[in-house]
Structure 1
Amino acid sequence: MQININTDKTIERNQGLDEHVNSVVSAAVQRFGEHITRVEVHLSDENSKKTGGNRCMLEARVTGYQPIAVSDHSEHLHQAISGAADKLQRAINSALGRLHDKHLHDTPKLQDDAEQVSDEVSK
């Protein structure tokens, strides 16, 4: 899984920030690792625009599903990153749960069809 970090011109990107983002995002999506190809991270400082706060937007590319995007705003950048990571974890869990449920609902139908064909063949 790749984690790509993008910042606007108001955020000073450094190794410490990159390590923090990588650790928080990796921890949040670790259990979904086999389903996620990459996570795009977009960090911006909206204080410079006088709107009050930092913003972290995360977009996960999930195999077999539309991209999942979440964002969080906070006065502190690290809190925005953590908040967005928590939201992403819940959103992916929900999306993969729906896919899993759909698969479970499709499977019994296939088994019923196979049993019906099997019964017809044995007659």
Structure 2
Amino acid sequence: MLIQINTDNNIENSDRLTTFFSNEISTELERFDNLITRVEVHFGDENSEKFGKEDKRCLIEVRIAKKEPVAVTDYADTIEKAFHNALKKVKRVLDNTHEKMRENH
């Protein structure tokens, strides 16, 4: 599973950030490893330098072999919260997708 972490101009991307979130994805989505070809994470700060409640955005796009990509978005006051909430959503979608794939075979 290829994992790519992207940030907008308002969030600094670092090796530490990339390593942390990549490890979280690998651990949390490990059981779907045979389905997933690629995961892209996009972080953004909707308000730039201004403070705003729930202005950090995390979009996670999962590419599943021979299926349409799945994308979820979450907003929170930190990128970590937005990431974990989006990851929970992705896991639910993948659970449903995996279940449907098993029913069809």
Question: Is this a same-fold pair by TM over 0.5?
Answer: yes
Gaps of 5+ in 2: none
Moved over 3 A (4+): 49-52
Aligned to 2:65: 63
Cα drift, residue 64 of structure 1: 2.2
The alignment status of 1:19 with 2:19, answered yes or no, reads yes
- The answer (yes or no) to whether the contact 2:10–2:49 under 8 Å persists in 1 is no
| % same residue | 36
After TM superposition, list the pairs within 5 Å mapping 1:1-123 onto structure 2.
1-48=1-48, 52=53, 53-103=55-105
Deviations 1:43-79 (A, max 9, x none): 1011328664201100111012110111111001111
Greater mean deviation of Cα atoms: 90-99 or 44-53? 44-53
Greater mean deviation of Cα atoms: 53-62 or 15-24? 15-24
Secondary structure (helix, strand or coil) at the match of 2:68 reads coil
Could you say which structure has the higher helix fraction? Answer: 1
Q: Could you tell me how far apart the structure 1 residues matched to 2:87 and 2:57 are?
A: 12
- What is the aligned-residue RMSD (CA, Å)? 1.5
Larger Rg: 1
Structure of greater relative contact order (alpha carbons < 8 Å, 6+ residues apart): 2
Deviations 1:62-102 (A, max 9, x none): 01211011111100111111111111111111111111112
Count residues in correspondence. 103
What's the TM-score once normalised by structure 2's chain length? 0.90
Gaps of 5+ in 1: 104-123
Could you say which structure has the higher strand fraction? Answer: 2
* One-letter code aligned to 2:74: D
Greater mean deviation of Cα atoms: 44-53 or 26-35? 44-53
Q: Could you tell me how far apart the structure 2 residues matched to 1:24 and 1:35 are?
A: 17
Q: Could you tell me how far apart the structure 2 residues matched to 1:20 and 1:47 are?
A: 24
* One-letter code aligned to 2:38: R
